[in-house]
Amino acid sequence: MSAIAELRRATWPSHQRLEKRINFKARLQSVGAYRAHVERMWGFYVVIEPSLTSGDLRGWLPDCDVRRKVPLLERDLAALGAEPSSGARLPRCGSVPACDDIASAFGCAYVLEGATLGGRSLMPLVEARLGLTAESGAAFLASYGDAVEAKWRAFGEAIDRCCSTDRQRMRAAEAASATFSALEIWLCGDHP
């Protein structure tokens, strides 16, 4: 079984719990509700991404800088009417998993990269309900555009190369589960 398939299996309960709790219907009911969601996503990504784009991840995933979502979230916030200095006032997630080894970094990145697939499925809803496009408030959801599947495959290949031992795969799965949990708490409040 591939490392990414093992990650999917190991994190399925965490992933499903987050999807059930996130209530996208409410988050897409108005541009204001969507903007609040984008602000929360920014508050998570701005904390977790720096630990992923530094260190050894670049050696395994050379395009990791291109994969950063904070610039897209900031572009969306500006399109949605945020002042350029508003980032200083937005809340930031206080607790994200440590990425103290490459397997853990890949586990955290697995959740973030998986969100690009989810964004692709939400994009048509955001366009239809809110009238937003990749150029006008939904760049984060559109992220890689037509390259999302190719980027996901390349990410899976990098995980397979990097996380080849049982220990590395376990560390990646632990970090991915912890990332799902941290994101759930950040977006939805305490666990049920």
Kindly report, residue by residue over 124-146, the tens digit of the pLDDT. Answer: 999 999 999 999 999 999 999 88
Measured distance CA(83)–CA(78) in Å, rounded: 7
Block residue for tokens 């969306």: 76
Domain boundaries, the chain: 3-188
pLDDT confidence of residue 13: 93
CATH T-level assignment (fold) for domain 3-188: Heme Oxygenase; Chain A (1.20.910)
Q: Which helix (H) or strand (E) holds 94?
A: none
Per-residue pLDDT tens, the chain, 192 aa: give them: 888 899 999 999 998 888 888 888 888 899 999 999 999 999 999 999 988 865 578 888 888 888 999 999 999 999 999 877 677 789 999 999 888 889 999 999 999 999 998 888 899 999 999 999 999 999 999 999 889 999 999 999 999 999 999 999 999 999 999 999 999 999 998 644
pLDDT confidence of residue 192: 45
pLDDT confidence of residue 54: 56
Which amino acid, residue 146?
A: D
**CA-to-CA dists, residue 119 to 45, 53, 148, 165, 190, angstroms:** 15, 21, 10, 31, 24
pLDDT confidence of residue 125: 92
* C-beta separation of 69 from 45 below 8 A: yes
